[in-house]
Structure 1
């Protein structure tokens, strides 16, 4: 046999079986699980209870400063909050009925996109003034884009020191990002007119600014042009320039202010030019004039101050009773620095009536608080009151008016004496002090001839603004001042009350034996009153044979005020007026209506010759038939007259 037997071929290793693919199933399971988690989270975040929980946690994180109530809606769309309150020691802000709609799907593309933000009411009240200086922020950049397409506020009320300012129909659009903030189409209705504004401010220091605003008069008469003020702000928050132009009727003007908003004294420069200013245009009760005003002021980096004021009246000269403004010119110069400021070359020129000249200064230490030590005085050598009002007597008054400040106390002293007419004795002296927001007038006295009027009182400028006033007249004769009735008045008047939150006053008077129109005059009375109610009225007046009596209350349901007039000699009031009048009048208040009850008889007074006698009867156009309610009263029966019914009308007060 052959020893070289061929080797037996090796048996190949078996091929391993392929494992089943499980990754697709795991991915599917993961996707499904993720979907469940995302869906659950979406469901959880969309619940109203989740929104309420988030609002509660946000409020708790403020330490009780923020309160949210009535939270409804979803994080995915519309939200509603009944009331938001933010309260600190210095500020209180309350917003009501807030509705917000936004688009969370735009978070990745546009940032926070708020479609609308509407609120019914916002009230902001300053609870306590703070001396803390406002600092310029480090940045205004938003970490992500924010856009507000439609913001509306029905009413906003701002309260400070008891005074409230209301703004309505506020609308705006707002956009902010890392580069800038943009305000567009802002509008509001203010007590002064319609406000509109647009502007941009950079998000990084020094915060470059570009903004415009306008204020237009809302209501004007037929054919009149509405008054308008236009503003433009530029520069940045280190140094801001503000340009203004305005017009109202014939009056117009321009102004430029340079401000450092975060400096100790923000105003750096001011230039104002105004012309054709007529006080009578703004209020027909004021005298007319044609005023031109120029003001210039500057504060430099060395704290030096310079400036001037110049006011000229180019209108016709005249007196107040002629509806003319007696003032012809006013001017003054400002100089020095913030530590020692002076006011020089002050002139107040009243034309033919005379002039006042004066000067003043302010000294303020480096660490001194408040205004510092200040003094300002005006002096006149000759002042004629007849040049102010035509009914006054010609005078030659000389004297001084001085204002001073020491620490936190301000004082006013007036000493004016008549030097022209022998025996006239016209003299005015007064001293007043303001300290800790309380005005105190120990005495102010006007003497004329042998008579005088003395006034004293005090008033608080804060809190309830309580006041107290006493006036005492002794042998005062108005004719000593000018073309006024001869009299000899001896009277005492007391009044006290408060002006906030609503005014309320109690007053009483006593007329000691006096004379008016060459007739004996006497009386006394008292009453209490507020904005809605008059009570405790009890007054009697007698002039010669004529008397008036008032008694009762009015304003609250069920109250009545009675008048009794007995004019036996009306000629005591005017020489060309004669006759007699006897009237009883009672005014009731019931169910929101006023009821007037008249009874009386009179001998008709007439101007000129002849006499007419008759019974007083209310004109037919004012009477209303009230059948079944007519009856004779004691006055009617006593005078032989007849009762003329009852006049009913809507509430008059």
Structure 2
């Protein structure tokens, strides 16, 4: 009984003590007391702020910092949920542990030799199952590295320590790792690290760690797209010279698949570096490119690099260093790497710029390239030359600022000099200035010739908002083959916005341009909104300057709003004048398309048709006059510019509301021009003329060396009296003319096209009237002409006029030309040769009435287009004169017989002729003659 009572009392006391103990452990005061006790035991190296919780549950701390010889660790906003009952099993077990930020700073080594630990035994077994860190930053002598969203686990006991990275997403990819370290010397290692790209299948790498802390070996296997690599690194971490062996190889790496805009290459390499018994290093590194080329081929001008090394890590000699640039030449030399610095001196005697870029001239530059520096400062100096060429570059990188003391290049008399600095800091400050003296790109390679004398300076910053101030001055220069001057300023408008203000003036030849406005995004030059004033002697000059294919014109001036979005440029709501004509509308060019694409919608309220002479190869030289290069020709024979026709696609609409011409009574015109892949179409090209309409559909195909042309022109209701007012036949109605011209041709000028034209022309005039006097004179009817003069001229009815003309290789012949009135029928004969610009035509009159004194034509039209001759047929007049003289010798009264016209001509059957002609005019297809000709070609 007493024994039971003692046991019960002992159990009660134990339970009481346990309860008291649990109560004490659950109190926050106990946690704080323990923390103060531990901090005191560390000698003040442990600091904490805002600690709360209990030893039996979750513990939270606002800030925890520990400092030791290794450095320091700072933890913010940490929380730990542990399992105190596992203490009875001899283990500290933490179910979950988290921290918002962990900052680990390693102390500088100060050159002291690192000693291996005596033991890695954990004083008590521990395990952290789930450890999460929002941000982990590691700082050492090389800088600071940040890792985000780390999930890990770690554990330890008297046999080994283990760390596991369960999840870590970096900018390089997803990382997983598992590492075991033995607790006893030599501290055996066994681990693996895996890296996989964020996009599946792009690249993956696996590193296996084996050996021990005293002699560790890491083996790497990696694959990236078509490239692969392997490496082996052996280290003795606690030796004065830790590297034992390094061996690596890589195959088929193409930088263009990784970095946008980089040239392509197929890089492979290998290297082997080993330490001898005295811990000295020796080895060789080789890198090759199996697909070298030039930059304009989008290839890397590099074939092979090799170098041998020997020495201690603090003083390594580099010898047999070779940079083989393939067709671009070779650099060779030697150097050293000492005390974290490197010095390398390379020489060449055959650097060929043509091997780097095919547009550059072939060279054999000789000189030296010097590279040197350490972690803080890197230096580069280049000096090359040959007869007629000099290249110099002196630059350095210090404190993340690239400073160019001199950049100089000369070819012949052409020079370019620049200097400045570009910072790689957060703001990316820059300041660059330079000078061009007699700069001629053609002296350096296959570029357009120019002569540029200019000074420029740029300064500003890139981040966080681009800021720039620039000045440009070009004087006494020749660009685009034209004398050129230019001045301009660019200034940022606000410190919190990238917009910059532009004010630029340019004069090239007769072309003068002024632009003022805003550049929206100067870093990418993708957006501008500018006021443009443009003037010059001819729009054709713009082709030399900006590559826009425009025709020759008289002097012009244009003001409008120039808007750019990427490669699309628009001249909006512009207004101006070309020659004596006003012009307004919208114009757009898209340079992102191949070929470039132009679109325009143009209007002219007052159009002088001579101002459009450039569209057909002529040139306006004075109001109302058009001159051609050869004054003996009437038809323009200036060659079309095939390069212009193929340099752009176009969609242009034009309307001339009031048209002025020297001779033709045109009221208005409109056209829709389509140029696509070298084929130009005017469909339609319409004129309101002489009370009627001329509607045209014209095509010029320049896809071959000789332009092929097709024209279909319809004439509707043209009033002859208005069309030919100089004939003085407009006192009364003279009928309306309808017609159709359908021809095909080939040639590179208007003259060549008309000189090869083949096809048909049909013209018809129905009812109307014509001057009686003109008809009498056409037959040289002297008697009736005298009667008309005495009584006065009057109009007589036109029964019909029908013309069927055949074009054959530029020669026009009338198959039928009939002009029929009540008392006369006129017949046209002969030909007009457009190739040679000659006339050989006759107008034969067949009277229907009697005349007592008629010389009876015909009238010949001969000569050239420039100087036509209209004369009676002198041969027939001579025969009548001889007959009259002979009869006068026999019997004088009979002398008038040869001049007596008895008439007797019959009326022409007009209705079927007119009907047939109108059917031909209205036919929708090519004529049979055109179809046969087209088939032959």
TM-score category of the 2 structures, normalised to the smaller one: 0.7 to 0.9
Contact 1:122 1:155 in 2 (8 A): yes
Residue 445 (structure 2) pairs with residue 490 (structure 1) = no
**Structure 1 55/494 Cα, relative in aligned 2: closer, same or farther at 3 Å?**
farther
- Match in the other structure for 2:489: 525
Structure 1 window deviating more from structure 2 (179-188 vs 34-43): it is 34-43
Alignment of 1:214-233 (within 5 A): 214-220=194-200, 225-233=201-209
Alignment of 1:5-44 (within 5 A): 35-44=15-24
Contact 1:516 1:543 in 2 (8 A): no
Contact 1:208 1:234 in 2 (8 A): yes
- Match in the other structure for 1:417: 385
Take 2:43 and 2:435, find their aligned partners in 1: how far apart are those partners?
Answer: 57
Take 2:121 and 2:598, find their aligned partners in 1: how far apart are those partners?
Answer: 90
Residue 370 (structure 2) pairs with residue 402 (structure 1) = yes
Contact 2:344 2:371 in 1 (8 A): yes
- Match in the other structure for 1:252: 228
- Match in the other structure for 2:504: 540
Contact 2:248 2:271 in 1 (8 A): yes
- Please tell me whether Structure 1 or Structure 2 has the larger radius of gyration of its CA atoms: 2
- Match in the other structure for 1:641: none
Contact 2:384 2:392 in 1 (8 A): yes
- Match in the other structure for 1:382: 350
Take 2:501 and 2:534, find their aligned partners in 1: how far apart are those partners?
Answer: 21
- Match in the other structure for 1:427: 390
1:215-260 per-position Cα deviation (integer Å, ceiling 9, x unaligned): 111214xxxx331111111111121111111111221121111112
Contact 1:528 1:535 in 2 (8 A): yes
Partner of residue 329 from structure 1, selected from 304, 308, 313? 304
TM-score, length-normalised on structure 2? 0.53
- Match in the other structure for 2:282: 306
- Match in the other structure for 1:204: 184
**Structure 1 453/286 Cα, relative in aligned 2: closer, same or farther at 3 Å?**
same
**Structure 1 183/91 Cα, relative in aligned 2: closer, same or farther at 3 Å?**
closer
Shift of 1:441: 3.7
- Match in the other structure for 2:860: none
SS at match of 1:324: coil
1:471-493 per-position Cα deviation (integer Å, ceiling 9, x unaligned): 33334333332233444141221
Higher-RCO chain (CA-CA 8 Å, sequence separation at least 6): 1
1:525-559 per-position Cα deviation (integer Å, ceiling 9, x unaligned): 3445999632664543535422222359999xxxx
1:343-397 per-position Cα deviation (integer Å, ceiling 9, x unaligned): 22222222222222222245x6xxxx554xx642211111211111122122221
Contact 1:181 1:201 in 2 (8 A): yes
Take 1:298 and 1:263, find their aligned partners in 2: how far apart are those partners?
Answer: 15
Shift of 1:266: 2.9
Shift of 1:194: 1.3
Alignment of 1:551-570 (within 5 A): 563-568=530-535, 570=542
Shift of 1:404: 4.4
Contact 1:605 1:611 in 2 (8 A): yes
Contact 1:182 1:201 in 2 (8 A): yes
Partner of residue 343 from structure 1, selected from 318, 322, 328? 318
SS at match of 1:573: helix
- Match in the other structure for 1:281: 257
Residue 54 (structure 2) pairs with residue 71 (structure 1) = no
Take 2:485 and 2:330, find their aligned partners in 1: how far apart are those partners?
Answer: 40
**Structure 1 464/578 Cα, relative in aligned 2: closer, same or farther at 3 Å?**
closer
Contact 1:244 1:255 in 2 (8 A): yes
**Structure 1 36/566 Cα, relative in aligned 2: closer, same or farther at 3 Å?**
farther
Take 2:332 and 2:101, find their aligned partners in 1: how far apart are those partners?
Answer: 52
Contact 2:435 2:453 in 1 (8 A): no
Residue 237 (structure 2) pairs with residue 292 (structure 1) = no
**Structure 1 301/35 Cα, relative in aligned 2: closer, same or farther at 3 Å?**
same
Residue 120 (structure 2) pairs with residue 144 (structure 1) = no
**Structure 1 117/532 Cα, relative in aligned 2: closer, same or farther at 3 Å?**
farther
Shift of 1:460: 6.9
Contact 2:588 2:598 in 1 (8 A): no
Shift of 1:209: 0.7
- Superposition RMSD on alpha carbons, in Å? 4.3
Take 1:281 and 1:244, find their aligned partners in 2: how far apart are those partners?
Answer: 22
- Match in the other structure for 1:442: 405
**Structure 1 209/417 Cα, relative in aligned 2: closer, same or farther at 3 Å?**
same
Contact 1:303 1:338 in 2 (8 A): no
Take 1:72 and 1:39, find their aligned partners in 2: how far apart are those partners?
Answer: 21
- Match in the other structure for 2:516: 549
1:377-435 per-position Cα deviation (integer Å, ceiling 9, x unaligned): 2111112111111221222211111234699876432111134xxxxx33111233566
1:595-614 per-position Cα deviation (integer Å, ceiling 9, x unaligned): xx996335536799999543
**Structure 1 464/204 Cα, relative in aligned 2: closer, same or farther at 3 Å?**
farther
- Match in the other structure for 1:620: none
Take 1:61 and 1:527, find their aligned partners in 2: how far apart are those partners?
Answer: 64
Shift of 1:201: 0.4
- Match in the other structure for 1:261: 237
Take 2:349 and 2:596, find their aligned partners in 1: how far apart are those partners?
Answer: 48
- Match in the other structure for 2:716: none
Contact 2:529 2:561 in 1 (8 A): no
Contact 2:429 2:462 in 1 (8 A): yes
SS at match of 1:380: strand
Take 1:150 and 1:33, find their aligned partners in 2: how far apart are those partners?
Answer: 38
Shift of 1:142: 0.6
**Tell me, which stretches of 5 or more residues in structure 2 are unaligned?**
552-557, 575-584, 590-594, 604-937
- Match in the other structure for 2:699: none
1:58-115 per-position Cα deviation (integer Å, ceiling 9, x unaligned): 5677687655444343211222334445689997755444332111111121410111
Contact 2:466 2:497 in 1 (8 A): no
Take 2:368 and 2:419, find their aligned partners in 1: how far apart are those partners?
Answer: 20
**Tell me, which stretches of 5 or more residues in structure 1 are unaligned?**
1-20, 420-424, 588-596, 616-653
The total of aligned residue pairs comes to: 562
1:438-484 per-position Cα deviation (integer Å, ceiling 9, x unaligned): 76543232223323332333567789886654333334333332233
Contact 1:504 1:529 in 2 (8 A): no
- Match in the other structure for 1:452: 415
Residue 330 (structure 2) pairs with residue 355 (structure 1) = yes
**Structure 1 203/583 Cα, relative in aligned 2: closer, same or farther at 3 Å?**
same
- Higher helix content, 1 or 2: 2
Take 1:161 and 1:581, find their aligned partners in 2: how far apart are those partners?
Answer: 62
SS at match of 2:162: strand
**Structure 1 160/608 Cα, relative in aligned 2: closer, same or farther at 3 Å?**
closer
- Match in the other structure for 2:136: 156
Alignment of 1:536-615 (within 5 A): 537=501, 539-542=503-506, 544=508, 545-550=512-517, 563-568=530-535, 570-571=542-543, 573-578=545-550, 582-583=560-561, 600-601=573-574, 602=585, 604=587, 612-614=600-602
Contact 1:269 1:297 in 2 (8 A): yes
- Match in the other structure for 2:555: none
Take 2:405 and 2:86, find their aligned partners in 1: how far apart are those partners?
Answer: 70
**Structure 1 496/285 Cα, relative in aligned 2: closer, same or farther at 3 Å?**
closer
**Structure 1 468/384 Cα, relative in aligned 2: closer, same or farther at 3 Å?**
same
Take 1:465 and 1:206, find their aligned partners in 2: how far apart are those partners?
Answer: 49
Contact 2:571 2:587 in 1 (8 A): no
